[in-house]
Amino acid sequence: MMEGKRRMAHDDELRDIKKGPWKVEEDEVLINHVKKYGPRDWSSIRSKGLLRRTGKSCRLRWVNKLRPDLKTGMKFSADEERTVIDLQAQFGNKWAKIATYLQGRTDNDVKNFWSSRQKRLARILHTSTAPSSSKSHKTTKHLQTPPFDFIPSLKATKLEEEFAASSMETVPFGEVVYPSPISAVPVEQQPYVAFPQFPMLPPDYPPLLEGQDFIGRLGAPNFLDDELGHSALGTAQVPIAPSFQASGTSESHDAVDIDSLMDDDFPPIDLFDQIEPLPSPSHWS
């Protein structure tokens, strides 16, 4: 491994290719090139002797850092967060595609944002399952947020239409909001309507299997902020399947205070073992 890296570095030296952080002077050269010829012919930058960088590296630098319309140094807003979450559910890890819906964000931005988020989720889940964590030790790769298809109501076209008609009007707390799938039109073609509030499951939502609801909620925007999602969920009452209730409680789908789900015993230690691997987007129908 180390040997391979050393050899690669040696090869690069032979080819006189520079790597690593960009200097201001290099940026200037690149910007001038784009001003003259536009964002293309990346490899000619090196062949003309303007920079010792590969065309690939030049393109990346331009796309991710030098492009004039970038929102550099700005954290993702709640709206952007919702957008990413929903589009990731729709498209999977198609970061470039998702980035087209976000003004001033690059695929790298989206990818980094998502990966940070996944790490946080993983850590929080791991923490909640810590007492017997050795049993369900999985990598973050398995921690994709479930697609919102996961929630059956998303497929209810009538509800979708109703939601579309009601647009993004403020909904009184406690009233069910049915999310509408994002229309597959990039930002430059159609103003994007951000994913709506998602405080509760619909009343007709079927009983949940162990672990499902918790995981589904992890996909909600800002779930991780504000004391583990309390702000997002409020004191929402959620139906729980009988199998998930404490023994001796009613058989009916009683509502359970969300706070009780945040006890030390939650989520169940075998949470991850309950989750099927997600289908790839191409298999979603």
Residue 43 or residue 153: which is nearer to DNA going by CB? 43
Residue count at the site for DNA (CB under 7 A)?
42
281 binds DNA (CB under 7 A): no
135 binds DNA (CB under 7 A): no
Residue 113 or residue 198: which is nearer to DNA going by CB? 113
The span from the CA of 213 to the CA of 192, in Å, is: 28
Binder among 29, 31, 52, 65 for DNA (CB under 7 A) = 65
Site map 191..230 versus DNA, x via CB under 7 A: ----------------------------------------
Cis peptide, bond prior to residue 267, ω within 30 of zero: yes
Residue 118 or residue 136: which is nearer to DNA going by CB? 118
Site map 108..127 versus DNA, x via CB under 7 A: xx-xxx-xxx-xx--x----
Binder among 96, 187, 193, 262 for DNA (CB under 7 A) = 96
Q: Minimum Å distance from CB 259 to DNA?
A: 23
Residue 73 or residue 191: which is nearer to DNA going by CB? 73
Return the HEC string of the chain.
CHHHHHHHHHHHHHHCCCCCCCCHHHHHHHHHHHHHHCCCCHHHHHHCCCCCCCHHHHHHHHHHHHCCCCCCCCCCCHHHHHHHHHHHHHHCCCHHHHHCCCCCCCHHHHHHHHHHHHHHHHHHHHHHCHHHHHHHCCCHHHCCCCCHHHCHHHHCHHHHHHHHHHCCCCCCCCCCCCCCCCCCCCCCCCCCCCCCCCCCCCCCCCCCCCCHHHHHHHCCCCCCHHHHHHHHHCCCEEECCHHHCCCCCCCCCCEEEHHHHHCCCCCCCCHHHHCCCCCCHHHCC
33 binds DNA (CB under 7 A): no
Residue 142 or residue 155: which is nearer to DNA going by CB? 142
77 binds DNA (CB under 7 A): no
Binder among 52, 67, 97, 253 for DNA (CB under 7 A) = 97
Query: Of 16-24, 201-209, 211-219, 235-243, which part binds DNA (CB under 7 A)?
Result: 16-24
Per CB under 7 A, residues contacting DNA are 8, 12, 18-22, 40-43, 47, 53, 55-57, 59-61, 64-65, 72-73, 75, 93-97, 107-109, 111-113, 115-117, 119-120, 123, 141
